[in-house]
Amino acid sequence: MAIATTSSLGIGSGLLSWDNLNELKNNDVKNLINPITKKIEKNVEQQTELAKLITNMTSLNTQAKNLSDLSTYQKRSTTIEGTGIKATAGAGLAVQDIKINVSQLAQNDVNQVGLKFASRDSVFSNKNTTLNFYHNGTNYNINIKAGMTLSEVGQAITDATDGKVLGIIMKTGGDNPYQLMIQSKDSGADNKVYFGSTLVGSALPGGKIETTNSGSIEFDIAGQKLKIDAKDIQSDFGNTAEQNAQALLDAINKKLEDPSNSTLKGLVDSGQVTIELNKDGTGLMLNDSKGGDISVEVKDMKFQAAQGTTSAETDLGFSTKKTQTPNQVTGSKGVSNETLTGKFSINGTEFDLSQVSSQTGANNAEKVAALINAQTSTTKVEAKIENGRLILNHQSGEEITLSSSDNALDSLGLNAGIYATNKNFLKDMNITNIQKAQNAKLTYNGINIERDKNSIDDIVSGLTLELTAVTKPNEEVIVRIARDDSGLSDEVKKFVENYNEMFNKLKELTKYDKDTKVTGVFNGNSDITSITRKLNAIITSIDPSGNNLMKFGVFLNDDGTLKFEKEKFDTEFKKDPDAAIAFFRSSTSIINGESKEIDGVFTKIKKTLDGFITDEKVNGKEKKGTLKLLETSLNDDKKKLETEKTNTQKRIDDKYNAMAEKWALYDQMIAKLTQQQQKLSTIIAAQMKQ
């Protein structure tokens, strides 16, 4: 660092200058700073090369870990004798042959709407209605407004069910090629879509349903009645809700076999009527796909929770005894509180609002309802008020047509149009089930298995089956699980390759050339030079059984690198896989009466490498390998050197700044003396001339 730019301090002889001072300072920098800089540069180089070496050793350690891990030797392959099944086997699955017969594939529920359309944007219906269906424990009511397009109806179904039931538009062909498909997203019997009306019971009580009384439960569905007496239900103490629900269902199915119930039995067989367990299996679910009313009447049914307890009444889970039919027409707002005027028609019968004289909305609503109900015998429509809104329903569930030539309907909160019940609209839709929701059924080594999907991974741990086709009757597909050792030689090959990369890096770091005097950055470092020595001792070792790596195709070259012969490895490994695995990873020996695990060659290598590169916390304490400690030491040394360099530079700067200040004072003093000398010389010269 230069001290000043002035070339002379003003000394007459010119022997001292700022250049002299800078030269002195630069000489101090050369002698004191440059050696520290070189140490820092060497430290940085060592840290860089050490990081590369640790990376090489980490890669080698990964391979050593793989070859000392039991799962590496437990890989499995599958072969299939037959068709209709795919299989994958995880590590450690027992080597075996599995016999499978698939009698049924799992599939989702697919229903085709009979209406056909010219395009996706065609109007689906000119009627206002609801589409009601039950799916996997939930009742859905989809509002369909007149004028909605085919695509909008499909999307409304998908949105209302959060994608559990899909409204899909398919192009099936013909003059009007587009049709609506309503299907469950997931497969399995529980994913059937039940259209029409559904009554779902809650859980039956546990314990014994009493059979000594005159209790009964009567079902009214699709116009047919079925009565089950308490004595028909086979229940006992200790029964769960699931067992009692099944007992009730068994009693129903048995009663359906009675010739007197042949009509209802036919409806059940055709699929129009469903009587089965609810989603949880604790109660019943009743469905009429045509949308008819369903009701249940329970009389004098009792149960005992446990033997010796008091009897209690039960509704057998039917606290709700009848299906609730959505209102056919519901006002979008309350009846206007203004004076009502205008005329409107219901099913062709005209009503004059001037007959309603009240000017308050509530009274207006009641009077309009009374006005409509006065003509029920003609229109077959009944009116009522709910939450201030006008509600209309047809007595027999037929269509309701509303019309008006002015704003009369709007003042009532109603809109013109045709309103159909779900039951009637189902007739228009003509829904056909073209694929039944069902579970997959198979036998696994003779054991019956049932699942809701065709991808099955929970029969035995580690085995995944993909069912693709039904097996022919009386035939079995054989899934053979075998050892898969095909990748072992690749693992050993990678180990050899990683070892050679590490070895070459070590050779570079510890080299010494006698001719050029060039040395590696870690020449003479015992921590580094010990790596090859320790690993070679393991690689060339022979275990008590006479095994060594050369036997398995791993040889030490003259230059210190390794080479691998795959064919020799494969041949030797196949002779006795268990013995090879014991040599590679570990074996068990009895020493002094105790069973002890003896490390295999790759386990020893892994532990040795861990001793060099480990960097982890164990029980809250840091555990570092030799090279990681060296890495930390080098980093600490670098910080110390940088601090030393900074402090030394400051001392030099301070020293020469102080010298510069002194030299400046000397310069001023000398300049002053010079001026005085010049004046004296002038005076003497003048006197001599006289």
Architecture of the 331-417 domain? 2-Layer Sandwich (3.30)
Q: In Å, how far from its chain's centre is CA 654? A: 66
Give the pLDDT band of residue 13 (cuts 50, 70, 90): very low
Per-residue pLDDT at 20 = 76
Q: Which of 156, 139, 235, 151 is nearest to 196 (CA)?
A: 139
The pair of structure tokens assigned to 515 is 């001719």
Calculate mean pLDDT across residues 312-316: 95
- Which of 387, 417, 327 shows the shortest CA–CA distance to 130? 327
Distance CA 554, CA 539 (A): 9
CA–CA gap between residue 467 and residue 442 (Å, rounded): 9
Query: What one-letter code names the amino acid at 195?
Result: F
Name residues whose C-beta falls within 8 Å of residue 19's C-beta, 6 or more positions apart in sequence.
Answer: 7
Is the pLDDT reported for residue 4 higher than 50?
no
Q: What is the pLDDT of residues 365-422, one digit of tens each?
A: 999 999 999 999 999 999 999 998 999 999 999 999 999 989 999 999 999 999 999 9
- Angle CA(451)–CA(452)–CA(455) in degrees, nearest 5? 75
**Cβ neighbours, 10 Å, residue 7:** 9
Which pLDDT value is given to residue 362?
66
Percent of the chain's residues with pLDDT above 90? 78
DSSP-derived 3-state class of residue 530: helix
CA angle 600, 601, 604 (to 5 degrees): 85
Task: Using DSSP, state whether 184 is helix, strand or coil.
Answer: strand
Query: How many Å from the N-terminal Cα to the C-terminal Cα in the chain?
Result: 55
Task: Return the pLDDT at 360.
Answer: 63
Task: Give every CB contact of residue 387 below 8 A, 6+ residues apart in sequence.
Answer: none
Instruction: Give mean pLDDT, residues 474-497.
Output: 95
Residues contacting residue 283 through CB under 8 Å, at least 6 positions apart: 200, 201, 202, 203, 204, 241, 245, 277, 316, 317
Between CA 134 and CA 142 the distance in angstroms is 11
Name which of 108, 193, 125, 115 is nearest 157 in CA terms.
Answer: 193
Mean per-residue pLDDT for 572-577? Answer: 94
Q: Is the pLDDT of residue 302 over 50?
A: yes
Q: How far is Cα 253 from Cα 323, in angstroms, rounded to an integer? A: 22
> Mind spelling out the 3-state secondary structure of 395-456?
CCCCCEEEEECCCHHHHCCCCCEEECCHHHHHHHHCCEEEECCECEEEEECCEEEEECCCEE
CA–CA gap between residue 664 and residue 670 (Å, rounded): 10
Question: What are the tokens at 595?
Answer: 């069973």
Q: What is the DSSP letter of 215?
A: -
Please report which confidence band the pLDDT of residue 8 belongs to, taking 50, 70 and 90 as the band edges: very low
Residue 336 pLDDT > 70, yes or no?
Answer: yes
- Quickly state the pLDDT bin for 11 (edges 50, 70, 90): very low
Chain centroid to CA 477: 33
66-70, 152-156, 334-338: which range is least confident on average? 334-338
Mean per-residue pLDDT over the chain, rounded: 91
Sequential DSSP letters for 317-366: T-SS-BPPPPPSEE-SSPPPSSPP--EEEETTEEEEGGG----SHHHHHH
- DSSP letters spanning 538-590: HHT---TTS--GGGGTEEE-TTS-EEE-HHHHHHHHHH-HHHHHHHHTEEEEE
Mean of the pLDDT values across residues 493-520?
93
Coil, helix or strand for 121? Answer: coil
Greatest mean pLDDT among 507-521, 591-605, 665-679 lies in 507-521
pLDDT of 657 higher than 90: no
Residue 200 scores a pLDDT above 90: yes
Task: For residue 680, give both structure tokens.
Answer: 């004296």
161-189: string of b/e by CB count within 10 Å (b at 16+)?
A: beebbbbebeeeeeeeebbbbbbbeebbb
What are the structural domain ranges in the chain?
33-71+487-628, 77-106+440-483, 110-193+430-435, 202-313, 331-417
- pLDDT at position 652, please? 87
Q: What is the mean pLDDT of residues 321-350?
A: 93
For residue 497, what are the contacts with CB-CB under 8 A and spacing of at least 6? Answer: none
Q: Is the distance from CB of 189 to CB of 277 less than 8 angstroms?
A: no
**What phi, psi does 456 have (nearest 5°)?**
-120, 125
pLDDT greater than 80 at residue 425: yes
Q: How big is the CA angle at 378 (ends 375 and 379), to the nearest 5 degrees?
A: 80
Confidence check: pLDDT of 551 > 90: yes
Residues in CB range of 258: below 8 A, 6 or more apart: none
Summarised one tens digit per residue, pLDDT across range 597-613 is 889 999 999 999 999 99
pLDDT at residue 361 in the model: 64
Give pLDDT, residue 619.
74
Mean pLDDT of all residues in 567-596: 86
- Confidence band for 7, pLDDT divided at 50, 70 and 90: very low
Q: Assign 552 a pLDDT band (cuts: 50, 70, 90).
A: very high
The answer to whether 185 and 166 have CB atoms below 8 angstroms apart is: yes
Tokens of 603: 């386990």
Answer with the residue of higher pLDDT: 164 or 673: 164
% helix, strand, coil for the chain, step of 5? 40, 25, 35
409 near 416, Cβ under 8 Å? Answer: yes
Mean pLDDT of the 111-136 span: 96
For the whole model, what pTM was predicted?
0.76
